[in-house]
Amino acid sequence: MKLNGKIAVVTGASSGIGAGIARAFGAEGATVIVNYSSSKAGADAVVSAIEAAGGKAAAVQADVSKPDDIIRLFEKVKADYGRLDVLVNNAGIAIFEMAADVTEEAFHKQFNVNVLGYFLAIREALKVFGKDGGSIINISSILSTDPYLASSVYAATKGAVDTMTFALARELGPRKIRVNSILPGHTNTPATDGNFAGELGVKLLAGTPLGRFGEPEDIAPVAVFLASADSHWVTGESLRAAGGVRGVGY
């Protein structure tokens, strides 16, 4: 097992890509802290699936847009497990609006979750990583480099995530902590349900060389690679997991 004995936190893991990564980590031997903001039932289902497959997991509630919640999350990890080996920053929010319609509230909400939430999680995780270091994986998006129409704010948050990834890889390298990001493409999740329907879906598929939309299970092996010793010489990188999409895909 590639992650045998590792302690891993996956934020926003009650569904979608986060849930897929959590299940994959559990199957590879990690003890997985399944973070959720509001869907306890979803997080409990992920924990049950990991345990049913012989793995170890626990659900912990924390809203990553709230600093006190993030502090509480990592204090619990330290108290329960004594250390942290892997952090996956996955919790996120997307609001697609044309610039003329974007409110300050929508702007700050996306940056508070997608950027500040990631940064604060990393800051608190640094207090729990041990002397052997570990791996931080930030879930970004292909929109960080190839934004859609009406995605200016969301795309900007993901661009910030990638830049933060590069900067922290340099800063944390001496502590043996690797920092990388994954850029998923068009992926079927509860958050994207219905987004790929109709003419847009046809265009997106036409621009995807592998000929289908992604699934959380397509992203999870990339996260396992970045969390494991297989990627011991990989840091400061942004890995696309997008079925070959270049540009906006249409």
Is the distance from CB of 203 to CB of 249 less than 8 angstroms?
Answer: yes
b/e code 79-89 from CB counts within 10 Å (16+ = b): eebeebbbbbb
Measured in residues, the chain has a length of: 250
Report the sign of the C-alpha dihedral through residues 37, 41, 42, 48, in that order. positive
Q: What is the DSSP letter of 249?
A: -
**Selected catalytic residue, list 36, 118, 148, 154:** 154
Give catalytic status of residue 148 as yes or no.
Answer: no
Tokens of 139: 């879930």
User: What residues have CB less than 8 Å from 33, skipping those under 6 apart?
Assistant: 7, 8, 9, 10, 57, 58, 59, 60, 73, 77
Residues with catalytic roles: 154
